[in-house]
Amino acid sequence: MPLTIGVDVGTQGSKAVVYNTRNNQVISRGAYSYDILKTKVPGRAEQHPSLWIEGGFAAIKAALKEVDRDEIRAIGISGQQHGFVPLDEQGEVIRNAKLWCDVESAEEAKHLSEQWGYNLVPGFTASKILWLKNNEPENFAKLRHVLLPHDYINHYLTGRYAMECGDASGMGIWDTSNRCFSESRMQSIDDNLHSYLPELIGPNEVFGKLKAEVAKELGLSEDVVVAPGSGDNQMSALGAGAVTEGTWVISLGTSGTLFGVSNRPIEDMSGGIAPFCDATGSWMPLLCTMNCTLVTEEARKTFGMDHEAITQAAEQEEAGCEGVNFLPYLTGERTPNWPSSYGALTGLRPGNLRPGLLYRAALEGATYSLLNGMDMLKGYGVTAKELRIVGGGSKNRLWRRIIADAFQLPLRFPTEPESAALGAALQAAAVHEGVPVADFVQSHSPPLADEVMQPNPDEAEKYSAAFRRHQQYGKTLFDSK
């Protein structure tokens, strides 16, 4: 039975799945946890790329423990987006990679935004490249290759330098309509930047095959095909089966994301909607917030309650939380572009400081930040017919209900918890078989739970009023910062 491996290399750890292409099932899994490097520098979030190799290989080996390795045909990599991996002429890492959640380059992002007439958020790679040039010129002088996290792993596996459009479109120097890098944006950072970027390959191409030493370490054949891979959001779309217009995905993780396939490019000059390409050859407009499960966990831990107890308490509270809004910007925010914002509770009255109410307010606050993205997308003529909910927060039954009623859309629930790793495995299978990725995913539809959660129209106005407050208070507090 031909098998493929999908690996998701994230900020907090790596996950791997082994996928059976014949019966469309994940047959084994592996995982390895790690963390961001400790620092006292405000806004800094870094990891050394060797950690991704260590974590990714450990996850792969765990997933392969009871698998016939001779049956492995291909591997696909999903990676955290926007990270800046600087390599020298020999392909050696120059310094730690700056991650998607690193906002140390806020000044560089502001400078580039003014030049481009486009609101570049500091999470994007472009501002990090300019940060290196401005703050560590000795390291910038060594720079010869710019890669993203999943590109670096592909390079480690095969020895090849290349990018695909999905992850590349999250760098901030992308020409969305023409699906290529913008010459003018690259030049505004550095005249030589174009020479540091690798070739672009298509979504259905073979990236390469495993190097001999890598194949030996993993116990795999050197004939194993490496797929192009992509960013974690693009891979999650594949793993959730969202490859046609109208099906949108919400991912509830450390960051919150809302994304879906579009057959035309969406270019939002405010920077609120990321102008991404997907992993099939189409486009994938996306909204990303920096504060999602971080906020709900902060509320839960404050009261020292377990998930079930505090969820039960929150279920006793009404939608709209009696006028209390939790503005969830605990670590600043990317969308809206408020890097200096902070968390705030508004509308407090005597008796409101109840665990259940404040926990529900945190759930609602994180949801409204995502709903703001859907509001923006409607302005571009984008419509959603259903939402597919993934990520760690998707297990919370109350959060599911809040999303259904706030968005007034039906929810479906992919049953594979590691949607990005599954998406990488599906892409690998498609590339190995020579089938377009979108066609393969449609014919091998990822499994969904039988449950379809329908929205309650009676709750719509409560959420609408609370959402308007969320927008109003956020603008009042942070628009001028």
| Catalytic residue positions, numbered | 232
Which of these, 273, 275, 252, 248, lies nearest to 261 by C-alpha position?
248
Distance between CA 274 and CA 310 in Å, rounded? 34
User: What residue has token string 């492995």?
Assistant: 72
Give the list of residues 6+ apart from residue 308 with CB closer than 8 angstroms, or none. Answer: none
List helix spans (H) across 136-231: 137-140, 149-158, 165-168, 183-189, 193-196, 212-218
Q: How far apart are CA 37 and CA 314, in angstroms?
A: 34
Closest to 193 (Cα-Cα) out of 203, 205, 202, 183:
183
Separation CA 283–CA 249 (nearest Å): 14
The one-letter amino acid code at 289 reads: T
Q: In 3-state terms, what secondary structure has residue 2?
A: coil
Query: Quick one: how far is CA 249 from the chain centroid?
Result: 11
Q: Which residues have C-beta within 8 Å of that of residue 84, sequence separation ≥ 6?
A: 97, 98, 125, 128, 129, 132, 146, 148
Distances (CA, A) of 92 to 49, 283, 318, 409, 415: 10, 33, 55, 48, 39
Closest alpha carbon to 234 in 427, 85, 442: 427
Q: Does 203 sit behind a cis peptide bond, omega within 30 degrees of 0 on the bond before it?
A: no
Task: Report the distance separating Cα 332 and Cα 313, nearest Å.
Answer: 28
CB-facing half-sphere around the CA of 327: CA atoms within 13 A? 25
Local structure of residue 96 (DSSP, 8 states): P
Q: How does DSSP assign 308-360, residue by residue?
A: HHHHHHHHTSPTTGGG-EEEE-BTBBTTTTBTT--EEEES--TT---HHHHHH
| Paired strand residues for 78 | 8, 230
CB-CB neighbours of 301 under 10 Å: 10
- 3-state DSSP assignment of residue 235: helix
Q: Using alpha carbons only, what angle is made at residue 51 by residues 49 and 53, rounded to the nearest 5 degrees?
A: 80
Cβ distance 204 to 430 under 8 Å?
Answer: yes
Tell me which DSSP letter residue 258 carries: E
If one counts every other C-beta atom within 10 angstroms of the C-beta of residue 16, the result is 29
The Cα diameter of the chain in Å comes to: 68
